């Protein structure tokens, strides 16, 4: 690790939204949006399979559910966490990719990772701005939380928890259909039917 892991934040369970039509096409979404595919809806139902126990922990700790305002995250939350009260928070929006939003990923100049590529977009959000936005949200938490958001946003959150450098953040897995439990500087991945979880701290 090249930075200090964040052990002072409350436990966070992070859900990336399910596959969208633009994900399937290899198209950059950023602050634009597209609906979940049939696979994306199945992935959200997979997350629901692990959510019951998480919701009990959230309730016991006096926490809540925080969701990005973008449609793909809200649709995922409706499937994965049906009927639960949620708080919409603009700080959870995906990185703004400026002039590249709506473009095919294959048409862009490639860098080492998507995180480093998209945060260099013309008229977009820089990596430093994204990190500051993620930190501002996490610093505001005073109780355990479920967060439903986006892939690159989640890579930053997970990387901050684990003390990763920006380069290492973008090299993490970025799965859909699972729940990442972030606690005391470590990450555990919960997949459908897996109540125990997989320690993914080194991923």
Q: Is residue 94 flagged as an active site residue?
A: yes
Q: Is residue 17 flagged as an active site residue?
A: yes
Catalytic residue among 31, 57, 78, 94: 94
Query: To 5 degrees, how large is the angle CA 150–CA 82–CA 181?
Result: 45
Catalytic residue among 17, 66, 150, 181: 17
Question: Which DSSP string corresponds to the chain?
Answer: --S----SSPPEEEEEPPPBHHHHHTB--TTS---B-HHHHHHHHHHHHHHHHHHHHHHHTT-EEEE-SSHHHHHHHHHHSTT---EE-GGGSPPP-GGGTTSBGGGSPP-SSHHHHHTT-TTS--HHHHHHHHHHHHHH--S-EEEEE-HHHHHHHHHHHHT--HHHHHTS---SSSEEEEETTEEEEE-TT-SS-EE-TT-
Q: What values do phi and psi take at 50, rounded to 5?
A: -105, -5
Strand 179-183 versus strand 186-190 pairing type: antiparallel
Catalytic residues: 17, 94
């Amino acid at each position: 690790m090249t930075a200090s892991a964040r052990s002072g934040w409350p436990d966070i369970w992070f859900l990336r939204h399910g596959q969208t039509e633009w994900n399937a096409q290899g198209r950059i979404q950023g602050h634009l949006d597209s609906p979940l595919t049939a696979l994306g809806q199945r992935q959200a139902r997979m997350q629901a399979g692990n959510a019951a126990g998480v919701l009990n922990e959230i309730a016991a700790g006096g926490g809540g559910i925080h969701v990005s305002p973008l449609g793909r995250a809200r649709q995922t939350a409706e499937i994965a966490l049906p009927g639960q009260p949620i708080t919409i928070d603009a700080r959870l929006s995906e990185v703004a990719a400026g002039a590249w939003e709506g473009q095919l990923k294959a048409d862009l100049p490639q860098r080492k990772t998507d995180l480093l590529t998209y945060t260099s977009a013309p008229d977009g959000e820089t990596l430093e701005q994204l990190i500051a936005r993620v930190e501002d949200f996490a610093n505001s938490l005073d109780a355990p939380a479920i967060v439903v958001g986006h892939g690159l946003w989640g890579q930053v959150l997970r990387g901050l928890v684990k003390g990763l450098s920006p380069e290492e953040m973008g090299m993490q897995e970025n799965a859909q259909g699972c729940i990442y439990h972030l606690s005391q500087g470590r990450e555990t991945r919960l997949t459908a039917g897996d109540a125990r979880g997989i320690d993914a701290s080194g991923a």
